[in-house]
Structure 1
Amino acid sequence: MCGIVGAVSTRNIVPVLVQGLQRLEYRGYDSCGVAVHEASLDGRQPGGLRRARSTARVAELVEQVASEQVQGATGIAHTRWATHGAPAVHNAHPHFSAGPGVADVQAVGRVALVHNGIIENHEALRSELQAKGYQFLSQTDTEVIAHLVDSHYDGDLFTALQQAIKSLRGAYAIAVMHKDEPHRVVGARAGSPLILGVGNNENFLASDAMALAGVTDQIVYLAEGDMVDLQIGRYWVVDHNGKTMEAADRPVKTVHAHSGAVELGPYRHYMQKEIFEQPRAIADTLEGVQSVVPELFDGVEGDAAWRVFKDIDEVLILACGTSYYSGCTAKYWMEGLAGIRCNVEVASEYRYRKSVPNPRALVVTISQSGETADTLAALRHAQSLGMTNTLTICNVATSAMVRECKLSYITRAGMEIGVASTKAFTTQLAGLFLLTLALGQSKGHITEAQSDAYLEKMRHLPLALQAVLALEPQVVSWAEDFARKENALFLGRGIHYPIALEGALKLKEISYIHAEAYPAGELKHGPLALVDSEMPVVTVAPNDELLEKLKSNMQEVRARGGVLYVLADANTNIENAEGMHVIRMPEHYGVLSPILHVVPLQLLSYHTAVARGTDVDKPRNLAKSVTVE
């Protein structure tokens, strides 16, 4: 979702700003822009604020700033994913304020501001500012902040922003500059991530360390409620109480955000690349795991997992989207193998209902980015209810989720660019299975020998995944059929029902085909009414104890003229026939089968989207890192 880059330097910083935006393109966006203080380039020219904005890709913005010769040593830049107001140039960031009664902000802008998040009380603030004479040129909540900062400005930008945010209700990460202070950028965060990058006689702000890859690896992670003041060669951080933070409280950390991770290589799309990276991602996630012990999940501050695991009597999983489906899969593992009760909640719903807290529950959050706003809010809500035993399964070791949870397990999927998550999902499943084994051992439901045997099967997963990826040509033939459809039904039973849900989500995300998933046993309770020859029905058919039940459900589809597309294990006696298309999985993998069965569903959605000509990596209306509610 929306990305921020800001800088105070002595060189022309525009190339760094737009390169930072390019590093953040994977988040998803529908407009982009950059603003600079022209006087900051040499300190002598009288120029003020200048900006360039576009609803095209960042590559076009690069051409625009070059042709218009936009230059400055102080600047801010942004990629916007539309919330308030349509994707249009007048709604793109940065937003300017020229003071009350002035409409020509491009010529006489006093404040330039970019913002991630959502301001919930923007309408009330807009009315107050309009009454003071401020003219609004956009439908965004962000323009409200720009005018609010201007209304408080009295010679000091830090104080003006400090006063402005007292009126804001909602989530924000803000970077702002003023025409009267050419070598200064001020930032603030509450509910949205913001980091400080420390350079050589220059300083940076960004919403993600990846934006600063190749520029600086010296990063300060700002805490909730922090404000930061950037000037040439110096910076300082003030917490939510107005206290200046010492270096020990906001330390500079070396973070290697490798820009090479975003190279496409020989693949047509990032999603395709990431699907085929899954054997490596699983291997990396398991690297160094010699045995499954609670210590695998020890916290970044030295918290001991074994003490927590011994004390808990329940697991509560909080997640959104694809991560939620990984949690739904883990519920079967935790209750079936570890013998511990497990509840899975949609994070965006959990904190808005009355629930019964259990202080002895282990609260597990799952997030690829570790910055998912709904999941972070749900985590904080659980903590406020007295549930302090927290653990995260996350792909980013430096994320807010890792910092705010007592315990953690870092998956090692590597950077995932495609909006539709693939390798992040399978590595989450691997991490959750390891957690299941550790919990099972702690509770005495899984012996060390059993745990070692499961771990040995996990080490074989990369080879097993390679065999599944070799099925791609067969999946392509299915995709040719699906590309002509507008609806699809996915069926699974037991532990494979969440995999059916994930398959349906992938198809709808990138091909725009309406897809639903059901437990196969629910067919006759409603969805069977939708089945006809134009409704392809995808069925996940592992060779497990529910196979015969599943076969009966499949016959219900065939009897209504439905066409089945079946992912079948060996020895299931499910064969190709009229109205029955079968892809044979290389091997049955028992309780780890979901990690294998999801891969053909990823390939199906990918090749269907390619056949339909959609934007595979950046599907409409969606963003990679969802940092607003």
Structure 2
Amino acid sequence: MCGIIAILGKSAVATALVDALKRLEYRGYDSAGVATLEDGVLTRVRAEGKLRNLEARLAEHPLHGHVGIGHTRWATHGRPTEINAHPHATGRVAVVHNGIIENFRELRDALAREGAVFHTQTDTEVVALLVDHALERGLSPVEAVCETLPRLKGAFALAFLFAGEEDLLIGARQGAPLAIGFGDGENYLGSDALALAPFTDRIAYLEDGDWAVLSRSAVTVYDAGNREVTRPVSLIPAGTLLADKGNYSHFMAKEIHEQPEVVGRTVAHYVDLATGTVRLPEEVAIDFAAIDRLAIAACGTAYYAGIIAKYWFEQLARLPVEIDVASEFRYREPPLTGRGLALFISQSGETADTLASLRYAKAAGWPALAVVNVATSTIARESDVVAPTLAGPEIGVASTKAFTCQLAVLLALAIHAGRARGVLSAQEEQELVDALVGVPSHMTKVLARETQVEQVARDLAKARDVLYLGRGLSYALALEGALKLKELSYIHAEGYAAGELKHGPIALIDEAMPVIVLAPRDKVFEKTVSNVQEVAARGGRIILIGDAHAAGEAGLAGETAVVMPEVHPAVVPLLYALPVQLLSYHTARVMGKDVDQPRNLAKSVTVE
């Protein structure tokens, strides 16, 4: 959530700051601003709403400074107004901040007793005032930041700009990600490498407790004990992080259509296409035969990927699995005893609750396996084993290609576990691997039917409430479908295990209630058909997602159906995720919603 960019440049930086912020829009935001030095004087331009509003303000009040900071804010403390937008500033210092200062009330009260005057509702303002008071006492900018940081509690990333200091930026990281970019006579700070990609291919990631002093010619990093340290510099190949919409109207549409390619790339990373076996990369060395329990924790869509993984690991490897929403796992404090493995799933690798759960598991002595899309993320760096997804940058807030790539990795791991534990035969492994390898081509076929899904979406857009039903592996997809529809269109939707229909949800069904049924022809297909008929008997508007024979076998030939390819039951979630995504995308688009940046949502949730 939120985005930070800071530039020590050779020429005016305001335009570059805004361009970098555009690359961070996927994190979600509700206001934005930049600050530069104009003849040594701190000057800010801020705006509520989207970056186009900030650009309009800058057109009226251009900034010409060669050093500056920028920010996209997602409100935590205080409403999303211009006055609460970052950067926050006094006459001496300006600061941008991601995260939450948990003890800001205590700090604000102490500052108020010293005569400080507050102009915003934010927690960030106390940071600016603390540093300002230190500067007023005669401390240098570096000394002022060094004194202030230990007083702050919470998860945060900070970037500071100082009046009269044309060759100085200071950044700090505690819990929220912050990276340094190294240029030629220029240096940078950014929330992630995506923001820095246009400027440099040399990136260093600050670790928790680090703070850094930047000039145009040098960068010095200190740890939490104020000891000078060196952090490794990674070379990011030019252009690998650049993202644009191509010929699509939205990043989400582009990312949905990228799934055959990125899932194929991910599958190829984990299987031997020649022998039809799972071949884990050397860095993914896990002895599943030595494990008697698996604990999974994740958030949002990644959590639903974990539910599907639970079915796979238990069915294919007979490995008992517990799964929790990460925010519950960390506070439930489950006893982690015996020969267990903790598995964490995250697109960004920076999800606060998932990271906290990882640290809890490691403190209990369990090894941690991370399935992440950002190999340089905090979760990846702190895990014992990393199983990367190869989805590439995902800009749309609603996860699409990251989800299916997570599923591809998790299925490969489950197959490998099944073989290691003596549950799957060589022939069964080959059948499963062949099915997994065939997923990208089937995805292409599903995407070719997008027009059919769009027609269904036009009718769905008129609904106020929607139910999603599924059994087995499709139950988690029902949950994911409901989440996607809520995220993008703001239509109320709920996902249920189909067998739970008559235990309450059936009371909601009438002729105005669309019911989306995920009905692959698997071992529970007949059970699902029975539930579909219960809906039909009560006048429910059924939208069936299944293969060419499903509607006929269900006795619903006249109902709306999204036709799917016939595939191995194990890979159904990877295929059926696509119509679920397309249905939500087109419903929101028909309704005129902001598909890539839904209201109130952030791509990477780096605070509780």
TM-score w.r.t. structure 1 length?
0.92
TM-fit CA distance, 1:616: 1.0
Q: Which residue does the alignment assign to 2:54?
A: 61
Matched, 1:574 2:554: yes
TM-fit CA distance, 1:10: 3.5
- Over 3 Å counting, the alpha-carbon distance change for 1:532 and 1:290 in structure 2 is closer
Q: Which residue does the alignment assign to 2:88?
A: 95
Q: Which residue does the alignment assign to 1:342?
A: 321
Contact 1:214-1:259 at 8 Å conserved across structures:
no
CA–CA distance in 2 between the matches of 1:217 and 1:623? 26
* Matches for 1:495-514 after TM superposition, within 5 Å: 495-514=473-492
Q: Which residue does the alignment assign to 1:123?
A: 105
Q: Which residue does the alignment assign to 1:286?
A: 267
1:205 partner SS: strand
Aligned residue identity for 1:305: A
CA–CA distance in 2 between the matches of 1:446 and 1:184? 60
TM-fit CA distance, 1:270: 1.5
Contact 1:295-1:305 at 8 Å conserved across structures:
no
TM-fit CA distance, 1:214: 2.0
1:333-380 CA deviation, whole Å, 9 max, x = no partner? 000001111111101121112311135221111111111112111111
CA–CA distance in 2 between the matches of 1:348 and 1:251? 31
- Greater CA drift, 396-405 or 158-167: 158-167
1:223-248 CA deviation, whole Å, 9 max, x = no partner? 111111111201111111221113xx
Q: Which residue does the alignment assign to 1:532?
A: 510
2:125 partner SS: helix
Q: Which residue does the alignment assign to 1:265?
A: 246
Contact 2:467-2:515 at 8 Å conserved across structures:
yes
Q: Which residue does the alignment assign to 2:74?
A: 81
Aligned residue identity for 1:220: A
Contact 2:101-2:154 at 8 Å conserved across structures:
yes
1:522 partner SS: helix
Of residues 84, 93, 96, the one that matches 1:111 is 93
Q: Which residue does the alignment assign to 2:236?
A: 255
Between the aligned residues of both structures, percent identity stands at: 48
Aligned length: 601
TM-fit CA distance, 1:547: 1.3
TM-fit CA distance, 1:259: 6.9
Q: Which residue does the alignment assign to 1:446?
A: 424
Q: Which residue does the alignment assign to 2:14?
A: 14
Q: Which residue does the alignment assign to 1:320?
A: 299
Of residues 562, 581, 587, the one that matches 2:540 is 562
Contact 1:33-1:93 at 8 Å conserved across structures:
yes
TM-fit CA distance, 1:288: 4.4
- Greater CA drift, 342-351 or 5-14: 5-14
- Greater CA drift, 438-447 or 483-492: 438-447
TM-score w.r.t. structure 2 length?
0.95
Aligned-residue CA RMSD (Å): 1.8
Aligned residue identity for 1:271: M
CA–CA distance in 1 between the matches of 2:386 and 2:400? 21
Contact 1:298-1:408 at 8 Å conserved across structures:
no
TM-fit CA distance, 1:156: 1.7
Aligned residue identity for 2:285: A
1:202-258 CA deviation, whole Å, 9 max, x = no partner? 211111111111211111111111111111201111111221113xxx111102363
Q: Which residue does the alignment assign to 2:33?
A: 33
CA–CA distance in 2 between the matches of 1:477 and 1:26? 28
Q: Which residue does the alignment assign to 1:305?
A: 285
1:362-399 CA deviation, whole Å, 9 max, x = no partner? 11111111111121111112212222x11111111221
TM-fit CA distance, 1:66: 4.1
CA–CA distance in 1 between the matches of 2:240 and 2:133? 40
- Over 3 Å counting, the alpha-carbon distance change for 1:405 and 1:92 in structure 2 is same
Aligned residue identity for 1:149: V
1:304-355 CA deviation, whole Å, 9 max, x = no partner? 614x434322111111000000000010000000111111110112111231
Q: Which residue does the alignment assign to 2:412?
A: 434
TM-fit CA distance, 1:261: 4.0
Q: Which residue does the alignment assign to 1:106?
A: none
Of residues 49, 60, 64, the one that matches 1:71 is 64
CA–CA distance in 2 between the matches of 1:513 and 1:297? 42
Deviating 4+ runs (over 6 angstroms): 292-295
2:459 partner SS: helix
1:352 partner SS: helix
TM-fit CA distance, 1:529: 1.1
TM-fit CA distance, 1:111: 1.1
1:38-82 CA deviation, whole Å, 9 max, x = no partner? 23xxxxxxx311111112422342343343231212211101111
Of residues 351, 358, 381, the one that matches 2:337 is 358
Matched, 1:136 2:118: yes
TM-fit CA distance, 1:449: 4.1
Aligned residue identity for 2:564: M
CA–CA distance in 1 between the matches of 2:279 and 2:568? 27
CA–CA distance in 2 between the matches of 1:598 and 1:364? 22
1:369 partner SS: coil
TM-fit CA distance, 1:451: 2.4
Aligned residue identity for 2:47: S
1:153-180 CA deviation, whole Å, 9 max, x = no partner? 3332222122212121211001112214
Matched, 1:490 2:468: yes
Aligned residue identity for 2:123: D
- Greater CA drift, 156-165 or 395-404: 156-165
Matched, 1:205 2:189: yes
